[in-house]
Amino acid sequence: MFCPSCQSRNQAEFTAEMIVHFSGLKNIDKPGVWLFPKVSICLGCGNSRFSTPKTELALLATGSPTNAASTRRESVAAVRPRIDLAG
């Protein structure tokens, strides 16, 4: 596949972890939406491409993500137990 920017064939695919935030002060309390796409990066010019999965795309389109669907807070808590520093 050719890079749409520089026409190079020198591309590689990587896994990525990103969070998409809704812009503007009106969205300050909305949680972000986590994405874990495969990213195709041109190693010649740096142009990058990825696709957003349907579930996360729906959250972005409606602009109303829920905490459980859009953050990893619950899954991280399951892996890393809480430590009580007070006692």
pLDDT at 15: 94
Q: Which residue has the tokens 């109303």?
A: 64
pLDDT at 77: 36
Determine contact, residues 72/47, Cβ cutoff 8 Å.
no
Distance CA 5, CA 44 (A): 10
Residue 74 has pLDDT above 70, yes or no: no
The answer to whether the pTM exceeds 0.75 is: no
